[in-house]
Structure 1
Amino acid sequence: MEKSTVINPVPPGGRIASVDVYRGFVMLLMMGEVLSFQSVATALPDSKFWQLLAFNQSHVPWTWLSLHDMIQPSFSFLVGVVLPFSLASRKNKGATTAALLGHALLRSLILIFLGFFLRSLGKGQTYYTFEDTLTQIGLGYTFLVMLGFCSRKVQIGALIVILVGYWLAFALYPLPGAGFDYASAGVSPNWEHNLQGFAAHWNKNTNLAWAADRWFLNLFPRSTPFQYNEGGYSTLSFIPTLGTMILGLLAGGIFKNDQKPAEKLKYFIIAAISLTALGILLQLTNINPIVKRIWTPAWVIFSGGICFGFLALFYWLIDLKQCKKPFFFLSVIGMNSIAAYLMSDGGLRQYITDNLYIHLGAHYNQIFGLAYATLISGALTLLLLWLILYWMYKQKIYIKI
């Protein structure tokens, strides 16, 4: 931890406020898991309102998405958005290309090992897994920085190669045969979310990425041999995740150019509509399904369009309309996103919740009835987490890697 004025250096004009707000919105979605809308929805099964909130606070079983599924792609996308500013700032301070690449490699390693640490909490030994958000970003970050030195044409070319190559690798991997042991893959052949026809190449735990992890993850010390990930997540997803970061890098390039703000907003909106439509087309034509858990090329394109949409919305509201005060609470979170991530995923969130029960009593959160208990305790926990981030903001303390 260190005292600093910024997390990611930006041009002399200052931080891009809309990016901080967007990042804060994403981290709030993650921290907001403590509200446990699903518990409220279970207690109030006839309420469509709470059912809708609960759906959007959980991941979909396989295809398409919920709002919660947009946390990881947004976080990855924003890594790319701020990179052009970070590189420019370090170059202005005299950093050489070699020094920048060395810093990128170090940052990649820190992100990977931080992912190991967070996933190993409460376990008897180090849990080596590579599907965590920080680890996935870490695996691709150095390559992203290398692309940051390249022209826009090279960046777009790299994106196309990644998406087409990853699609082709899955398409060429053989489908399960008649004697396939589905139990060893942790999925039923009759699972309602299994895809049919050509799209079956992207089914849960019977695809190329699952096969790669059956080899790769067993190279590490484990309490039991790795057979499958229950959620269907995989290490190889870092490759298309790099594609998501490249989309962010392209957006960052638009931010950094000298065009008028209205022109930049237009590019963001066009990208949002075009990418979202293309992703839906790939899904509906069965060419490639939209699956976040294995980060299919269609998911990169579809979620990338949504990321551009969020970016356009926040850019219009915050930077163009200067509507900053109502979103200040999000800026506080977004300016210290790593701290917010660690608070949410590192145990502090649960520690605060547990202590609220100790100090306020077992029934303090039932003042509006048992159905809303998690909502009350979760809201108090969120408030305390935000106050910690606000104190760090006031002290100009930001955690950065």
Structure 2
Amino acid sequence: MLLMMAEVLEFTHVAEALPESSFWGFLGFHQSHVPWTGCSLHDLIQPSFTFLVGVALPYSMASRASRGHSQTYLWLRTLRRALVLILLGIFLRSMGRNQTNFTFEDTLTQIGLGYPFLYALGLRSERSTWTALGVILVGYWALFAFHPLPGADFDWSLTGVAADWEHNLGGFAAHWNKNTNAAWAFDRWFLNLFPREKPFLFNGGGYATLSFIPTLGTMILGLVAGRWLRAAPSSSWLMRRLAIAAAGLFAVAILLHLTGINPIVKRIWTPAWTLFSGAWCFVLFALFYFVVDVQKTKRAFFPLIVVGMNSIAAYILAHTVVGFIDESFRINISPQYDLLFGEPYKTLISGFVILAVQWLILYWMYRKKLFIRI
């Protein structure tokens, strides 16, 4: 969540202003999404957030069960939570528009669409969970693999992508190219069922509604990790399981990518991306578990705890008050307060100010024990 909020620092602006600096170029790359295949640190934000939804579920279910809540009550609560996430995602995507922007590729809507299925799997055995993951990923792969490729008379103006775009894939992997795939075809039908200012043709970033299906796969991996965490007889047992899972997922994902069977593409959440990003989630989960729980260094992570305890509030702040904070400083401090260290670094100054104010709001909520839960 802190990495997402830190987008306001706009390292890419500094990198463009200082093109000779490899340091800022490196930071700029990892604070932006890759154009299509591959991965940056920024690309791991959404899967990490999604993974943790799965990690938290076994604890949530155990807590509710200990209070004697019926399955009917728990299912109604699950469906309510899913609906709120979907509607909140649509609301945030509609800000600044002339009418409701019905779109379902946002992080919150993607989680909301998959959450009831995740809860259902939370009631099943671990073997059933792994089986469901396999069915989801293979089925989603088949949906793309059997979708026809663009023909010689294909109208590329409908996709927002040129036929010779440098990131287009060739051969069998072309089934997962931007805005010519099965998920794009689905959205051409589905999103036009809703009222719109003009017909939906394509998503500029290539994102798609159906990505919630493999995103559910990421949540399932988190569910497995959460079960292991609750049942771990020792820290070494858990660390070993997390390491083996990460190594296996990395191996399969990279093999799928290199052979062209399925490329690693975050924007359409390919099955290979589910496995690749899931492997990174296991690595990061193991790293933080070791440092915080095993080495007992929780105090050093207090700034992250403040953000993490109110992740929904942090997400909303990052999508709503950025402009307000910046404009307030320009009005009350100086119209050019961000030029303190010169033009190349202006986004670092304004971004730091915005990030600091957001964190202080979350800190105040933490001190007052105001935690937003859905």
- TM-score normalised to structure 2 length: 0.99
Give me the whole-angstrom Cα distance separating, in 2, the residues matched to 1:373 and 1:203: 36
How far apart, in 2, do the equivalents of 1:161 and 1:54 lie?
A: 37
Structure of greater relative contact order (alpha carbons < 8 Å, 6+ residues apart)? 1
Q: Deviations over 1:189-236 (max 9, x none)?
A: 100000000000000000000000000000000000001111100000
How many residue pairs get aligned? The number is: 374
1:241 corresponding residue in structure 2: 215
Cross-structure match for 1:173: 147
1:353 is displaced (CA, Å) by 1.4
The alignment yields a C-alpha RMSD, in angstroms, of 0.8
CA distance in 2, matches of 1:269, 1:368: 44
CA distance in structure 1 between the partners assigned to 2:47 and 2:131 by the alignment: 20
Q: TM-score, normalised by structure 1?
A: 0.92
- The aligned amino acid for 1:132 is D
Indicate if the aligned counterparts of 2:256 and 2:272 stay in contact, CA closer than 8 A: yes
The CA deviation string for residues 178-197 of structure 1, in whole angstroms up to 9 with x for no partner, is: 10001111111100000000
* Residue 112 (str. 1) matches residue 112 (str. 2): no
Within the candidate set 103, 109, 113, 1:135 is matched to: 109
Query: In structure 2, what is the Cα distance between the partners aligned to 1:216 and 1:366?
Result: 46
Give the partner amino acid of 2:367.
K
1:229 and 2:187 matched: no
Q: Does 1:78 align with 2:46?
A: no
Q: How far apart, in 1, do the equivalents of 2:97 and 2:146 lie?
A: 37
Partner of 1:254: 228
1:159 — aligned with what? 133
Aligned partners of 2:64, 2:76: CA distance in 1, in Å?
12
1:98 to 2:66 alignment: no
Residue 290 of structure 2 corresponds to which residue in structure 1? 316
Residue 31 of structure 2 aligns to a residue whose secondary structure is: coil
- Deviation of 1:244 (Å): 0.5
Structure-1 separation of matches of 2:336 and 2:118: 50
- Aligned residue among 255, 269, 272 for 1:281: 255
For residues 353 and 265 of structure 1, the distance between their equivalents in structure 2, rounded to whole angstroms, comes to: 43
Give the Cα separation in 1 of the matches to 2:250 and 2:123.
28
**1:368 aligned partner:** 341
- Paired position in structure 1 for 2:365: 392
Shift in Å, 1:276: 1.6
Please state if 1:30 is matched with 2:4: yes
TM-aligned CA deviation for residue 97 of structure 1:
1.3
Q: Distance in 1 between matches of 2:91 and 2:311?
A: 18
Give distance in 2, aligned partners of 1:258 and 1:238. 30
Give the residue type in structure 2 aligned to 1:50.
W
- Partners of 1:119 and 1:138 lie apart in 2 by 15
Deviates most, 77-86 or 97-106:
97-106
Residues 290-309 of structure 1 correspond to what in structure 2 (within 5 A)? 290-309=264-283
The amino acid that maps onto 2:337 is Y
Unaligned runs of 5+ in 1: 1-26
Tell me which of 237, 257, 267 is aligned to 2:241: 267
Unaligned runs of 5+ in 2: none
